[in-house]
Amino acid sequence: MLLEKLSNARGVSGDESAVRALIAAHLQKHVDEYRVDALGNILAVKRASKRGARAPFRILVAAHMDEVGFLITHIDRDGLLRFEKIGGIDDRILPAQTVLIGAQAVPGVIGLKPRHLSTESERKQVVAADALRIDLGASGRADAQRVITPGAYATFATQFSTFGDNCARGKALDDRAGCALLCELVRENFPFDLYAVFTTQEEIGLRGARVAGHAVAPNAALVLEATICDDASIRSRARAAQSFPPRAQAPITQLGAGPALTLADRRLLAHKGLTRAIAETARAEKIPFQYKQPLVGSTDAGILHRVRGGVPSAVLSVPARYIHSPAAVISLDDFQNALKLARAALPKFADALDA
């Protein structure tokens, strides 16, 4: 499964080459041309299957290749590695995780000192990432330097697996799920020019998309993402009871309820015409979908919609629980429905803009 390979591939923002190689190999079979730009974005084109009388309509469909992870900043004298987080990672999920470092995928672990040796008050404190170390089993700095140099990137070491009721568990599903959807879409023939754009550096500020959008100058853009899903009603026993009145915690999206359509997020007011076209297509084709709770998160569309003179943009996402963690969870039903919906809705974009 391509999704599995993409999830296991390692590509922190700024170091996307392994993911890029995987995607490029796939694109060679399906697109007319592609190029890799100065930021490492892949800009692939699949031309319209039938050319109409009017000028070709260009739709940019984007998914980002990069994932959250770590950068090794220093090797301590005792051979332990200091690191910096790349992208939004909650410090609280780091203890007892395993990572793979550098191109050679050297395994390391993030240890927390045992409970036996911690005080009661220490156990109530979050250990900040800069106080944690990656342990390679190296005997000292020189020993660690044999296999690692500062500047090496590290990712979570989780391997993708399917589980439960047609769910998948893996790292980097944000946004390899989107990459996998886009890789599926390029197999199709569309009546418009499809610019399949695999972007870099999304997690550190939507940087790849800025230049990719500029270069393509599309008529419309669709971003394929994995988005926040906080639907575990069970999530906090203690604090639900503490706060009075109980604070309503919105789930943002629901797992298994279909792909999520963005109305607005922190950086985007989605184009109404495109969003309506997607929703109407879903209803007509009986594909389940949901609206993502507005004003949370942001995607490459946050930059794509304002390149050059502006680009009408929409976002379609696969809900992912525990996003930015070593083990995100998606529903493969949502994934398939996202693919169906994108495939059916994209040909309607041109008319939606005319209307």
Partner 1 sequence: MATLTDSLVKFAGAHGASGYEDTVRALIIREFQKLTDTVDITPLGSVIGVKRAGGTRARRPSRRASATNAPRLLVEAHMDEIGLVVTEIRDGFIRFEEIGYWDPRVLPSQNVWVHGRKTLPGVIGSRPPHVLTAKERKHALTLDDLFIDVGMTDARARELVSPGDMITLDRAVIPLQNEMCAGKAFDNRASVVALLEFLKQLQNSAPAWDIYAVANVNEEDSPFYVGAQTAAYAIQPQLALCLDVTHAQQAGLNDEALPQTGQGPCIARGANIHPVVFEKLRQTAQRHALSHQITVYGGNTETNAWMMQTTGNGIPTGLVEIPLRYMHSAVETLALSDIQGAAQLLSAFAMNLNAADARALQGETFTRKAARQKRGARKNAARRTQRQR
Q: Is 337 in the site for partner 1 (CB under 8 A)?
A: no
Among 147, 204, 264, 279, binds partner 1 (CB under 8 A): 147
Beta bridge partners of 85: 70
Among 72, 152, 157, 186, binds partner 1 (CB under 8 A): 157
Which tokens hold the place of 187? Answer: 């197999």
Q: Which of residues 255-314 bind partner 1 (CB under 8 A)?
A: 296-297
Q: Is 165 in the site for partner 1 (CB under 8 A)?
A: yes
Among 15, 305, 326, 333, binds partner 1 (CB under 8 A): 326
Of the pair 69, 218, the CB lying nearest partner 1 is at 69
Helix (H) or strand (E) holding 333: helix 332-345
Q: Which of residues 186-245 bind partner 1 (CB under 8 A)?
A: 228-230, 232-239
Among 326, 323, 353, which residue's Cα sits nearest to residue 96? 326
> 56 vs 97, 218, 274, 278, CA distance in Å?
49, 10, 18, 21
Q: How far apart (Å, rounded) are the C-alpha atoms in residues 62 and 298?
A: 14
Of the pair 139, 189, the CB lying nearest partner 1 is at 139
Task: Tell how far CA 126 is from the center of its chain.
Answer: 26
Of the pair 29, 115, the CB lying nearest partner 1 is at 115
| Residue positions annotated with a catalytic role | 202
- Using CB under 8 A as the binding criterion, the count of chain residues that bind partner 1 stands at 72
Q: Is 137 in the site for partner 1 (CB under 8 A)?
A: yes
**How crowded is residue 329: how many other Cβ atoms within 10 Å of its Cβ?**
19
Closest distance of CB 335 from partner 1, Å? 13
Q: Which of residues 72-131 bind partner 1 (CB under 8 A)?
A: 80, 88-93, 95-98, 106-118, 123-127, 131
DSSP state of 160: P
DSSP state of 152: -
Determine phi and psi for 29, rounding to 5 degrees: -85, -20
Of the pair 74, 235, the CB lying nearest partner 1 is at 235
